[in-house]
Amino acid sequence: MPNIISRRDLDFLLYEMLDAESLTQKPLYAEHSREVFDQIMETAEKLGENVFQPIAALTDREEPVFNNGRTILPEETKEALDAYVEAGFPAMSFPEDLGGLQLPYLISQGVGATMGAANGNVSGYMMLTGAAARLIIAHGSDEQIARFATPMIEGRWFGTMCLSEPQAGSSLADIRTKAERREDGTYKITGNKMWISGGEHDLSENIVHMVLAKVPGGPAGVKGISLYIVPKFIPDADGNPGERNDVVLAGLNHKMGNRATVNTVLNFGDKGGATGWLVGEEGMGLAAMFHMMNEARIAVGLGAASTAYTGYLHALAYAKDRKQGRALDDKNPENPMVPIIEHADVKRMLLQQKAYAEGAVALCLTGARMIDDEKTAEDEAEKAHLNLLLELLTPVMKSWPSEFGPRANDQAIQVHGGYGYTRDYPVERLYRDNRLNPIHEGTKGIQGLDLLGRKVVMKEGAAMKALDAEIRKTLDEASGLEAVAAHADTLKAYWEKLAATTMQMAGQAAKAGPKAYLANATIYLDAFGHVVVAWIWLRQAIVAARAMEAGTGEQNFYRGKLQACRYFFAYELPSVTPMLELLATLDTTCMEMDEAWF
């Protein structure tokens, strides 16, 4: 695929590392086969190549326009989404009895990586729609599923997530949108929502807003939050979009990147109240939302990873083509200039991108496989183990690609020199697009608090033990393989140091208090993320080393994996050491900095 994502690498991850084929042994996925997966990936690849990527520059340039309560988007956005719907992608990971194709989540994420790399801003609408439908399926009534989720599974209606408000972004407990129960059992919704992606457009027949709101007089904080379905058009008796609901587009946000996904300010109830239907029970809104967060957060991480990936491939192609300078030991100015890929420093920048992008995609697909394993686990202990792993790794899968993906995009610009800084090349756009990812779906800071404040300490460190077991499995696999044995020793040392530091921090927490314990949670998240990604790189390297031993041809592909692993262990992993040293002391420099001293 032309600089979108490497299908060879996706196949490596899906089949050689994560053994997607074995999922077809499970009753849930028994209908499927490798051939079906391949064909689906093929269609995704073609759609990405012929429809999504070619319009990426245009959908960035032609930012959505606000016109009299409506959003005007370039026609190409709708054409691309129509093609996506027509190909049947919206239904891919839903259960068969709901009209879905019941594909493994892992395969749907292979598709997601492809679309994300081709033009994640346009495919973003479908990600939101899938999440909205999943939320209704998990917590809604059968009637709500039939009425609202089914048209989204079919791709006819799109969905949104309405959590944020102007005064409540990270602090969802402080939302103010009101939900008042009416006689007929529906609720009257009034309030203002901010930052709503896909909040108003003519791309679909209807828009299903999933809205967090509070019933007046209910408990303060998160316990007072409920979840409502608030459609743009209220479905009539036949289920078709009917009367216009009182949801008004108040304005658009003008963003740095991610422009094809229109971002809106929505007013609910300007004209007397929007009609909403309660999903599940009152007070359970945020819990319901978070239940769905694992998958949504992996999808955000994968979006960041694939945006990094396409930037890397663009930089790689550019570096092979651009001639500049000569070898350092070549003193003859008559000799022709060399392609910049021959310079060690340019190779360093490319390896860095390869290590980040491939590492991040591998991380998120590993998570996707865990979701499938959790869904299909036959014994409870196995299910609980996977659940713990996912709880622990979700903030990492969301944050690590979001942090290091944009850094890869930054290096893609650098490889392009001055040209990378212009709009004639896609790399500056990819950087702008990717810069969103550490902000939405829980900022990086919030993810750090989640990891250190909740996940590593939950159930007396049970999640850490679960990850320990997984890492030890990998270390055992590596022990007999000469090509990776040294990396295994290194990972073991770092993992043990990370675990020890975590214990040290926890040991001081009671005395120092939560503020000091959590003051450097973001740094902990970075250190933790690097160790986890080192583990993911070792897993890739083990597969590559075995394939090389088996002499399966394609030596270059596998050597590339081994070299990127070596790069990660030599250039990246050591950055964890000073972080852990700082963390172990519960350093309070930042916490104690007084506002007045700035």
Partner 1 sequence: MKVLVPVKRVIDYNVKVRVKPDQSDVDLANVKMSMNPFDEIAVEEAVRLKEAGTAEEVIAVTIGPEKAQDQLRQALAMGADRAILIETTETVEPLSVAKLLAKVCEEESPQLVVMGKQAIDDDCNQTGQMLAALMGWPQGTFASAVTKEGDKLHVTREIDGGLQTVALNLPAVVTTDLRLNEPRYASLPNIMKAKKKPLDKKSPSDYGVEITARLKTLKVTEPPKREAGIKVGSVADLVEKLKNEAGVL
Ligand X SMILES: Cc1cc2nc3c(=O)[nH]c(=O)nc-3n(C[C@H](O)[C@H](O)[C@H](O)COP(=O)(O)OP(=O)(O)OC[C@H]3O[C@@H](n4cnc5c(N)ncnc54)[C@H](O)[C@@H]3O)c2cc1C
With contacts defined by CB under 8 A, name the span among 40-48, 181-189, 222-230, 430-438 that binds partner 1.
Answer: 40-48
Partners of 157 in the β-ladder: 206
Q: Are 152 and 98 in contact (CB under 8 A)?
A: no
178 conformational bin, left if phi > 0, alpha if psi -120 to 50, beta if neither? beta
Determine the size of the site formed for partner 1 (CB under 8 A). 27
Binder of partner 1 out of 16, 38, 180, 587 (CB under 8 A): 38
- Measuring CA to CA, which residue among 331, 304, 330, 479 is closest to residue 402? 304
Please confirm, yes or no, whether 482 is among the known catalytic residues.
Answer: no
- Measuring CA to CA, which residue among 165, 161, 151 is closest to residue 198? 161
Element containing residue 77 per DSSP (H, E): helix 75-86
Which C-beta is closer to ligand X: that of 106 or that of 519? Answer: 519
- The minimum distance between CB 85 and partner 1, in angstroms, equals 10
Tell the residue number behind the tokens 């599974």, with chain if given: 153
- The minimum distance between CB 12 and partner 1, in angstroms, equals 11
Partners of 315 in the β-ladder: none
Q: How far apart are the first and last CA of the chain?
A: 50
Tell the residue number behind the tokens 């939950």, with chain if given: 458
Q: Does 28 bind partner 1 (CB under 8 A)?
A: no
CA distance 428 to 413: 6
What string marks each residue from 465 to 484 as x (binds partner 1 by CB under 8 A) or -? --------------------
The C-alpha R_g of the chain, in whole angstroms, comes to: 24
Binder of partner 1 out of 10, 23, 40, 133 (CB under 8 A): 40
Q: Could you say which DSSP state residue 522 is in? A: H
Residue 2 binds: one of partner 1, ligand X, none (C-beta under 5 to 8 A by kind): partner 1
Residue 259 binds: one of ligand X, partner 1, none (C-beta under 5 to 8 A by kind): none
Residue 35 binds: one of ligand X, partner 1, none (C-beta under 5 to 8 A by kind): partner 1
- The minimum distance between CB 90 and partner 1, in angstroms, equals 9
What string marks each residue from 548 to 567 as x (binds partner 1 by CB under 8 A) or -? -----xx--x----------
- The minimum distance between CB 267 and partner 1, in angstroms, equals 38
Which C-beta is closer to partner 1: that of 38 or that of 342? Answer: 38
- The minimum distance between CB 323 and partner 1, in angstroms, equals 15
Residue 121 binds: one of ligand X, partner 1, none (C-beta under 5 to 8 A by kind): none
179 conformational bin, left if phi > 0, alpha if psi -120 to 50, beta if neither? beta
Which C-beta is closer to partner 1: that of 89 or that of 495? Answer: 89
Which C-beta is closer to partner 1: that of 35 or that of 379? Answer: 35
- The minimum distance between CB 171 and partner 1, in angstroms, equals 40
Which C-beta is closer to partner 1: that of 27 or that of 553? Answer: 553
Partners of 264 in the β-ladder: 196, 252
Residue 414 binds: one of ligand X, partner 1, none (C-beta under 5 to 8 A by kind): ligand X
All residues at 6 or more sequence positions from 389 whose CB lies less than 8 Å from its CB, including other chains: 370, 463, 466, 467, 470
Q: At CB < 8 A and 24+ separation, what contacts does 289-293 make? A: 289/135, 289/161, 289/163, 289/210, 289/212, 289/227, 291/138, 291/139, 292/131, 292/134, 292/135, 292/138, 293/394, 293/441, 293/442
Which C-beta is closer to ligand X: that of 322 or that of 383? Answer: 322
Residue 1 binds: one of ligand X, partner 1, none (C-beta under 5 to 8 A by kind): partner 1
Which C-beta is closer to ligand X: that of 14 or that of 266? Answer: 266
Query: Strand 274-279 vs strand 225-231: parallel, antiparallel, or unpaired?
Result: antiparallel
Residue 410 tokens read as: 């930054």
Q: Is 165 exposed, middle or buried (0-12, 13-18, 19+ CB in 10 A)?
A: buried
All residues at 6 or more sequence positions from 190 whose CB lies less than 8 Å from its CB, including other chains: 177, 178, 180, 268, 269, 273, 274
Residue 322 binds: one of partner 1, ligand X, none (C-beta under 5 to 8 A by kind): ligand X
Catalytic residue from among 45, 165, 391, 441: 441
Binder of partner 1 out of 16, 24, 26, 46 (CB under 8 A): 46
Which C-beta is closer to ligand X: that of 110 or that of 420? Answer: 420
CA distance 544 to 308: 22
Span 65-94, contacts to partner 1 by CB under 8 A: 83, 86-89, 91-92
CA angle in degrees (0–180, nearest 5) for 1-365-197: 80
- The minimum distance between CB 292 and partner 1, in angstroms, equals 23
- The minimum distance between CB 546 and partner 1, in angstroms, equals 16
- The minimum distance between CB 100 and partner 1, in angstroms, equals 10
The helix/strand/coil state of 51 is helix
Instruction: List contacts with ligand X (CB under 6 A).
Output: 160-164, 169-170, 195-197, 255, 258, 263, 322, 324-325, 340, 343, 345-346, 414-415, 417-419, 421, 436, 439-440, 443, 445-446
Binder of partner 1 out of 22, 39, 335, 577 (CB under 8 A): 39
Which stretches of the chain bind partner 1, using CB under 8 A? 1-2, 7-8, 31, 33, 35-36, 38-40, 42-43, 46-47, 83, 86-89, 91-92, 101, 103, 553-554, 557
Residues designated catalytic: 441
